[in-house]
Copies of this chain bind each other. A is one copy, B any other.
Amino acid sequence: MSKIAFLGLGRMGEAMATNLLKAGHALTVYNRTPEKADALKQQGARVATSPAEAVREAEFVFSMVTDDHALTELTTGPDGILSDLPANAIHASCSTVAPETNRQLAAQHATHGSYLVAVPVFGKPDAAAAAKLWLAVAGPAEARERIKPILAALGQGTQDFGDDPGAANVVKLCGNFMLGAAIEAMAEAFTLGQKSGIPRQQMYEFFTSTLFNSPVYKGYGKLIAEEHYQPVGAPPSIIRKDLKLMLNEGRERVVPLPFANIIFDRLSATMARNDENIDWASFAQRVSDDAGVDNYK
């Protein structure tokens, strides 16, 4: 049983924090909008009024926030994590951010005498709630070893990506990209089928029960077959940011990424036209648009 602080209680963060609490840890939580902490409070979590207060006695700190800016503020800003974190404590940075952001924050942790381990997670909020996330872990070897037992409460498996905390984020960005590629591939196939007289649903059922019989293809494929993109797992703007970070890594490493460009452009076109209250997989509608069909619901 450890002393853990959890910062950032969006849908993903709340579900993960709940699982840490269930696992028997002493949990202190913090969220900018304090009402989001209510449910956790009722289950026994202590609620702090600042990141600094939350981490004051922590052995482990988890953060799960929207973007690089929020993470940097949370970590190095006034009343941030580094203003009061005990020496030797470990910061598990779970947000989807640029690899370089975690590298820079890791260096500041090292100066402070603490550790940053990047722990991006794969799975939607329902997978987080069911402790069925997949986790990638990267950072200093000692810290990775110490945090692994804690991570067991969050998901169904953890893979180690070495000492560079940025590496885990590259993996996370690539994972979102690969989902996007599967979405575009299904959209092109189902739309061509539709215009050739084959119901989208029929093609969906065939492929997801044969060659592409996996939860990812089934889950996103259903949305694409029905062209009904509710409920919102993640809005287009959030995943567009992830694709942007991936393309930035490709620029930095000099790797042309034509599929990633197309997905990014699809998400841009989706943002340019729609409101945000729709799942990011709705970029598949651009394939239908360009083919002159309209199945939207």
Interface residues of A (CB under 8 A from B): 99, 122, 134, 136, 157, 159, 161-162, 164, 166-167, 170-171, 174-175, 177-179, 181-182, 184-186, 188-189, 191-193, 195-198, 202-203, 205-207, 209-217, 244, 246, 249-251, 253-262, 265-266, 268-269, 271-273, 286-287, 289-292
Contact = CB atoms under 8 A, between A and B. Distances in A.
Given A189-B177, A206-B136, A265-B258, A197 B292 contact: no
Given A193-B171, A196-B167, A290 B269 contact: yes
Given A254-B291, A255-B291, A261-B261, A192 B174 contact: yes
Contacts of A254: 195, 268, 271-272, 291-292
B186 A184 contact: no
A122 B208 CA distance: 13
B255 A268 contact: yes
Contacts of A273: 292
B265 A262 contact: no
A192 to B, nearest CB: 5
A126 B177 CA distance: 31
A106 to B, nearest CB: 15
Given A170-B198, A171-B206, A185-B177, A269 B249 contact: no
Given A177-B189, A249-B196, A254-B291, A210 B122 contact: yes
Copies in the complex: 4
Contact of A178 (B207, B256, B286, B292): B207
A196 B170 contact: yes
Contacts of A161: 198, 202, 206
A99 B192 contact: no
28 contacts: A99-B196, A134-B206, A134-B210, A136-B206, A162-B197, A162-B198, A164-B197, A174-B192, A175-B189, A177-B189, A178-B212, A181-B181, A181-B182, A181-B259, A182-B182, A211-B216, A214-B214, A244-B251, A254-B268, A254-B292, A256-B265, A256-B287, A256-B291, A259-B259, A261-B261, A268-B290, A269-B289, A271-B292
A203 B249 CA distance: 16
Nearest to A257: B188
A291 B262 contact: no
